[in-house]
Amino acid sequence: MNRKIIDKEYRDMILENIDEYQKDYFDMKEKVRNSKATYKGEPVPFLYMPKFYTDNDIENFKKLTKTMSQIFRKIIEKFLNDPEYRKKFGFPKWLNELILLPTNYSSPFPMARFDIFYDYNGYFKFCEINTDGTSAMNEERELSRIYLETKAAKQFGGGYEFHPFELFETWIDEILNIYMENHHEEKPSIAIVDFISKSSMDEFIEFRDRFRKRGLWCEIISPDKIEYNEDGYLYFENEKIDIVYRRLVTKDLLDNKDKIKDFIKGIKKGKTEIIGPIKSQIIHNKIVFKILQEKETLEFLDENEREFIKKHIPYTKELILDNLDVHEVIKNKDNFIIKPMDLYASKGVYVGKDYSEQEWENLIKENNNNNYLLQEYFNPPETLMIDFESEKRERYFKNITGLYIYNENFYGVYSRVGKKSIISGIHDGYTLPTLHIGKQ
């Protein structure tokens, strides 16, 4: 099946009966407003057109997941065993001590989302790697659920069938699989841990309730409410915690380390299983994009992995002007983006094409030698989408595709589009229902 043809068939169907589907769009909008498809308490913006992915796309996602995971395992292994290589990442000693702690399970990054730019032809370029507090499963679940109730979903012909991605039960299965690698407790207790003020509460509640339906004790707990016991386990209100599902991002852990000393003691002791481990920071921090392309890394990868990096990883350097051709960076500003090594939700990201030469020069000087990266700006692939908020009813949108990786296996997709150079919620982006499409 050809995704481009499927998208055109869908748009043609909508445009042939525009009034009916526009009314249905506003009905869907009301359902989303009253649903759990929220981010920071607000309904998620969406379009009345899903992202359809075929069997061929799914196979592509599985292959790239396998290759990138192999590469990351080698990098993490090198970091853990080579103090000189470790210095490339520039992590503080305190963080390195947590990263070097042993774990009782095999995967060094149990949950990840690989964000890629992926076009109709199957070509892709990596945008970023998220292994730290990976989120948005609930947005995807709710939007796809509500979309499947629409007239468009029910009437889209051609013998297609739709399959939403299941991102909750699969992750719970994998958490329990990870735990059972080295434990025999059949009913472990689980804490979903993050600062409540930073939490995606609807998502956490969904996970909590699903754990409970399996007969497991589960609570959503702020790390400063967790206590360390002399038996080596973490506790909450006298309840021993067997598993921490860590949604607390490492930067927030570092910024609040004096407030969460008991939680950190528990991490160090290792009796309570922390899923995922702090060592996932090795590939979460965006400095890994630079290190991937360095000679020392390429030497311990195989030929296929080196070719993969050359083809799919954007050019990346640290934003240290003494080590760069500043004139080139300013003159060719449209080819570059600068971003912080370890912030999330697209905070502090700047694209050269959005600024004048003087503004761009000011930005790179302001962020010089300040834990920033200079990276090749890759123009995201664009798709013609149905947009009922536009007079033309169709508009081109830039695409970014997030691949959910649980225990190093591909499980689903998170799709976003936008009109701006950066595709995210804070840049007026949209989340789309995402469906695996097949022939009936």
pLDDT in tens, 203-244: 999 999 999 999 999 999 999 999 999 999 999 999 999 999
Residues recorded for the chain: 440
Q: What pLDDT is stored for residue 232 in this prediction?
A: 96
Tens of pLDDT along 349-395? 999 999 999 999 999 999 999 999 999 999 999 999 999 988 889 99
Q: Domain 3-285+380-439 carries which CATH code?
A: 3.40.50.1760
Residues of the chain whose pLDDT is less than 50?
none
What is the predicted pLDDT for the residue at 166?
Answer: 97
d(CA 395, CA 322): 42
**Where along the chain do the CATH 3.40.50.1760 domains lie?**
3-285+380-439
Task: Give the CA angle between residues 237, 100, 239 to the nearest 5°.
Answer: 10
Residue 421 confidence (pLDDT):
82
Sequence-distant (≥ 6) Cβ neighbours of residue 161 within 8 angstroms: 437, 438, 439, 440
Q: CATH 3.30.1490 occupies which residues in the chain?
A: 315-377
Measured CA to CA in angstroms, residue 68 lies from 307, 327, 409 at distances of 12, 34, 11
CA dist list (Å): 26 to 32, 52, 248, 261, 307: 10, 21, 36, 49, 47
Look at residue 132 in the predicted model and tell me its pLDDT: 85
Q: Could you say which architecture CATH assigns to the domain 315-377?
A: 2-Layer Sandwich (3.30)
In angstroms, the CA 302 to CA 317 distance is: 23
What is the predicted pLDDT for the residue at 53? 97
Judge whether 38 and 44 are in contact, CB under 8 Å.
yes
How high is the pLDDT of residue 39? Answer: 73
Q: Calculate the alpha carbon distances from 428 to 142, 218, 355, 398 in Å.
A: 20, 35, 18, 12
